[in-house]
Each structure stands twice: as C-alpha cells, then as structure tokens.
A = this chain, B = another copy of it.
Amino acid sequence: MHGLLQDSPLTLRWLFERMERVFPERAVCSARRGRVVRRRSYRELAERARRLSSALDALGIEPGERVATFCFNHDDHLEQMLGIMAGGRVYHALNPRLSTAELRYIVGHAGDTIAFVDADLLPAWRALGDLPSVRHVIVVRSPDDPTNESRTLPEYEAILAAAPQLQNWRDLDENAAAALCYTSGTTGNPKGVLYSHRGLLLVAMAWLAADAAAVSQNDRFLPVVPFFHAQAWALPLTALLAGSDMILAGADVSPPSIAALIRTEQVTLASGVPTIWRTVLDALEAGEVNPNDLAPLDRIICGGSAVPQHMLEAFDRLGCRLIQVWGMTEMSPLGTVSRVRREVAPSDALAYRAMQGQPSPLVSLRIMDEKGNELPWNGEAAGEIQASGPWIADAYLDTSTPGMRTDAGGFVVDKSGQRWLRTGDIATMDPMGNVRLVDRAKDLIKSGGEWISSVQLEQIIELHPAVAACAVIAVPHPKWDERPLAMVELKTGQQAEASELLELVRRHLASWQVPDEVVFVAELPRNSLGKIDKRALRHTYAGEAHSGT
C-alpha cells in the first residue's frame, strides 16, 4: 500500500523555485583581490542559468554529457553549476591546482565534451594540450575585466547572448547524475564520484539543520572552499535553498582579502579547510589583519583535516564559532558535525569540539576491525569508519565498463545486502556517536604490535604555542617495526626545543608512543587541497630518520 503524497522528484529544480520566487533579490557577489566587483541577484543568476542551459542545447550537448569548468569561485561559475545540473548535464569542476598529467587523465576519463575556462586560467588550460573528448572551449571573463582576453575562442557572454530562449526545465529523474568530482587520489589514479540530484538536494537540506550549518536567509555566506572540491561541500546549494547572500572570493583567498570581504560584506558564515583559517590567525598575529575585520563573522564550517584545539579557542576569542565537520568527496561530503551536547561539562566542551562530531541525520556510520567485525562505540576501540546513506557513493565512475561503475576496493556489502563506503579513516566512536579520527589507515604507526596514532601526536604537539603545524610519520625500525617521527613547522619568529615538545607528548600519552625524534622544518609540504603531504615527507625523511636513531 503506497502513500498518496505527490510524486515530486528531489531535483535541483527546487533551488530555482526558491531563487526565482522566494528570494529573487538576494545577491551573489563576486570579488577580485578582496573587493566585490560584481553583484547579481538570485533572479538574474537563475535567468542566466536558464539561458546557459538553452545555449548548451543549441551547442548539441546532450543530457548526461559531462561539462567541465576550469574556474575559481565567482557568480558565472555558480550559474554554470546550476544551469548545467538543472538541464540534465553533469557539472564537472576541475581543480586547476592539479598537475597537467592528473588533469589530462581526469578530463579523458570523464569524457568531458565542453569546458568553461576562466580567462585567467587559459595559459594553464592550454598547457594541457590536446584533449580529444573536448569539442568546445568557452572562455569566461573575469568579473572585473570588460575586455576579451581570447581572440580565438568563443566567449561565455556571447554564447549566453545567442541562446535561443530561457530554458523551461525538462522533467528529470531524481536519480539522474548532476555532478562529478574526482578524489585527489593519494594512491592510484583519481577516482570519479558521480552525484545525483537527489543526493545533492538531500545533503543541502541536511546542512540547513540547526545542529548542522544552520544556514539562514539572514546569513551572508563566504565559501572559501573552491567549487571544485565537492561543489564547495554543497554549501552554496544550501545557501541558495536558505536564501543567504553569497560572497565569492575568486582566486585570491589570502588572509587580507578574506578579512576585507568579511568586513566590507558583513559576512556571517564562512567555510574552509583548517589551513585557510590558520593563515588567517597567523596574519592576525603578524598584524596583517585587524581582529575587528572579523567581527561580523558568526561561524565557520571547517573540515578537510582535523582542527586543532587551539584554533577553536582562537576563534572563540574572536567571537566566532568554528564548527568542525568531517566527510569526504565520496560523502557529498557531509558525514559528521561537531556540536556539543548540553550534558557535556563546560570544561570538556573544547575537547568535544575537537572531535569530528556526530553523524548527520541520514548518515549511517560504523567502525570495523581488520577482519570485518563491527567494533563497539565505547570511545576506545578504533577501526575503519564506514558510511552508508542516500548521499554516500555506491561506486566510482568507470566510463570504460558497461555499468559505468567500479568498486576499486572502496566498498563492502554487509549480510543484509547494504553497501558501505570504506572511508580509509581510522576512528573511535563514543556512546554519543562522536567520531574521533585516530588516523588515516595508511598513516597509522605500528610499533611493537601496537598502533600509534599520528593524528593524536600531531594534535598534542600543536598544543604548543610556538608550533604552526606538525606532521608525524612512521619510520622503519629494526626492533619495533615502526616508530613515529615528528616534523614541526614553527610560527614565524617563535622558538621551541625538541625536548619541550616531547615532554608535552609525555604528559598526554604512554612513553612508548612518544616520538623518537623531532625534526624542525621551515615549511611542511602541502598538496593542492592544502593538506600536509605525508607521502612527500615519507619519501624524504623515512630512511634518514631511521639511520639517525
């Protein structure tokens, strides 16, 4: 017996409903170098997205085809995201920070047939050479640049102007593909995650919740996360549902630019990886940014790597709540949100906020040992965290197989037939469902048959006021198999001794978990996501450190 409610598909058309009818005057503001240079209303943006969809029809781009963008965050890029998806094509934002080889692989694997390229990024695009699948390249001017930087390629404004009409949206199946994003691929080739309309709309609904990002029509939202990272974590889609104004920073996310936008645009909500917010704190300390600039900011959604406790405290002092979240490209990417329950003692609240938080509604999590047994949520047992739910990947895209899909070792099926994403993250969960990331599976240190968490060591060492960042890696050891080595980047002009840092660890952990050595480096290597590149560190240091002990 079925219910008698309307058969109303969960597609991103719902965003247009709100943009055009409920929030037509809300604004999307595009900035260059910390200054807003263009403002468009939701009504204009929606109209331009309809026009774009019609232009794609005219160019012969069929529903289901992958449409690449090679752009930073700006209003044209946002309307491309909307127009591509709502017209039934697949929005595929490329990360310009990837290597030429990676980008060539990704475009070829996705089979992108058309690309929208920021004029500023044309040299990088041209460096990719011939891309056989790409039939059209459209140049997108900078928001503050009225000149045509390309004499040879068609321009975005020209194809919009030539669009035969405003698209009246066709019916789409809610499971239709809407967007594609490749994981950064720490091992092997990048893997494609293919999002559906239903998944993206549901994740946007979940972000609205009071205990998630609590996005409101009265927020002014600055996503410092680029669109090419899982649609900026789906938070811009959320802001469009909520009716928040949006401020898009373009390529320049330096602390002075971010601070200027927060001040002048009265930004209340921002998102970004810890690295971004660490640079902002550094700039405050160095006097390059004024604390008053950040006064309008009410909260920051922060994820992508573990947030150190001192960063939470630093933003608390600025009157801004930094809310830690955890997820990954394969999770659309909302997994957990760190909120503090009222029964947590105030003195413990910070430690809770430094965890990764509780699962969102519609996200199932479990932790599994190496034999595939589920572990209890007792805050002690650590295992691989696995995820299930309507916005969790079911498989990776493989355009070369008949079913277009591959497991690539990333999924398991339980006895009931339910599929689970293997996140590769090692975590404990407590009886309140709080996830505490212990490590990436590959970053665990196995010393004398016991596991040592590199993340835990890093968090403790980062408690030291002089430490800017720390990375702990495993180095081979003849007796213990592996031992931890701590690599430390100090804050500019600050000093710390190795002995102080090791003493700090000793106060928190068992003596066998204390690193054998601390190496001070001028700067830790980071990848295109701003995450510390432990592969590079292992390559450089793993052998040397061993020989030195």
Contacts and interface: CB of A to CB of B under 8 A. Distances in A.
Contact of A64 (B1, B216, B342, B433): B1
A413 to B, nearest CB: 11
B419 A6 contact: yes
Given A22-B358, A24-B431, A361-B18, A5 B393 contact: yes
Interface stretch (A175-183, A278-286, A521-529): A175-183
Contact of A390 (B6, B358, B392, B395): B6
Interface stretch (A127-135, A195-203, A454-462): A195-203
A364 interface: yes
Interface string A151-163: 0000000000000
Interface stretch (A52-60, A206-214, A469-477, A483-491): A206-214
A352 interface: no
Contact of A194 (B3, B175, B390): B3
Main SS of chain A's interface residues?
loop
A18 B195 CA distance: 25
A241 interface: yes
A128 to B, nearest CB: 24
Most B CB contacts (10 A, CB to CB) among A6, A18, A395 go to A6
Interface residues of A, number: 73
A193 B5 CA distance: 8
A2 interface: yes
A21 B377 contact: yes
A361 B5 contact: no
Contacts of A208: 208-212, 361
A24 to B, nearest CB: 7
Contacts of A1: 63-64, 90, 176-177, 404
A290 interface: no
A373 interface: no
Nearest to A364: B17
A186 interface: no
Nearest to A17: B364
A431 B218 CA distance: 17
A8 interface: yes
Q: Report copies per complex.
A: 2
Given A21-B433, A242-B211, A358-B22, A195 B8 contact: no
A106 interface: no
A260 to B, nearest CB: 21
A105 interface: no
Contacts of A196: 2-5
Most B CB contacts (10 A, CB to CB) among A178, A205, A359 go to A205
Interface string A16-55: 0110011111000000000000000000000000000000
Contacts of A90: 1
Most B CB contacts (10 A, CB to CB) among A176, A341, A395, A396 go to A341
Nearest to A209: B208
Contact of A389 (B6, B24, B358, B359): B6
Contacts of A195: 3, 5
A6 B417 CA distance: 12
Nearest to A63: B1
B211 A209 contact: no
Contacts of A64: 1
A178 B3 contact: yes
Most B CB contacts (10 A, CB to CB) among A196, A212, A332 go to A196
A4 B183 CA distance: 14
Contacts of A173: 2
A432 interface: yes
Interface of A: 1-8, 10, 14, 17-18, 21-25, 63-64, 90, 173, 175-178, 193-199, 202, 205-206, 208-212, 214-218, 241-242, 332, 339, 341-342, 358-359, 361-362, 364, 377, 388-397, 404-405, 419, 431-433
10 contacts: A2-B177, A3-B177, A4-B194, A4-B393, A5-B199, A6-B419, A10-B362, A10-B390, A23-B432, A208-B210
